[in-house]
Amino acid sequence: MNKKIQLQDLGNKDYKATWDYQEALFKEIVDIKIQKRSNTDLVTPNYFLFVEHPHVYTLGKSGDLSNLLLSEKQLEAKGATFYKINRGGDITYHGPGQIVGYPILDLENFFTDIHRYLRFLEEVIILTLAEYNIIGTRSEGETGVWLDVGTPFARKICAMGVRASRWVTMHGFALNVNANLGYFDNIIPCGIKGKAVTSLHVELGKEIDEAEVKEKIAKHFQLLFEAVFVLD
């Protein structure tokens, strides 16, 4: 079991180019797993990508296109793009000021339980928010991390959507840190009506050091997954 994870910070990168890169890493791991049937000495790698995307809306495979409230021309006017993709979940937004994390892991290096995997991703964010004295929680039946669940002020701060095949994961989470929340007005986020979204800088009333947030996410991810990040 390989507990090392190659950490890459891609900076600001186009969504489609990043998706293609994820697919290539995903395929690499799957191909090695197939070869391992005849050569058990082979070791599968793991990756974790940090990235920030230009304005983009993505719709999961079970999503409803009507949750995108913009026409093609309106998307273009806002400088945003749109993609239907192969993760779970409905529609979400990515853009500047948002930290996106894509763990591309062979879960057989860690544990083979996709529900536990999702709960661990949520816990990474919950522990990170706690370092800013913000109480993040889960909302029953809804993935991601929320604030003030069970009150009229419930709001989502981190969206999640993953794909897994042969116990290899891709896609991941999107934490609003210094995000322009106006872009969420153009969708029904995650297909959930009447629920607000928020960002760390809104909750704290100041701009947040994104590099510092990434360090905290990386720390908690390594502890929960009992892994070691290796800079790539």
Instruction: State the catalytic residues.
Output: 190
Residue 21, annotated as binding a ligand: no
Residue 48, annotated as binding a ligand: no
What is the phi/psi pair of residue 181, to 5°? -70, -10
Residue 171, annotated as binding a ligand: no
Residue 58, annotated as binding a ligand: no
Residue 26, annotated as binding a ligand: no
Residue 11, annotated as binding a ligand: no
How far CA 192 is from CA of 34, 52, 86, 90, 162, in Å, comes to 39, 24, 19, 9, 18
> Measured in Å, how far apart are the chain's first and last C-alpha atoms?
20
Sign of CA dihedral 88, 218, 226, 38: positive
Residue 191, annotated as binding a ligand: no
Q: Which two tokens stand for residue 78?
A: 């806002």
Residue 94, annotated as binding a ligand: yes
In the chain, the amino acid numbered 96 is P
Helix and strand totals (H; E) in the chain: 5, 12
Annotated binding site for substrate: 87-94, 159-161, 172-174
Annotated binding site: 87-94, 159-161, 172-174
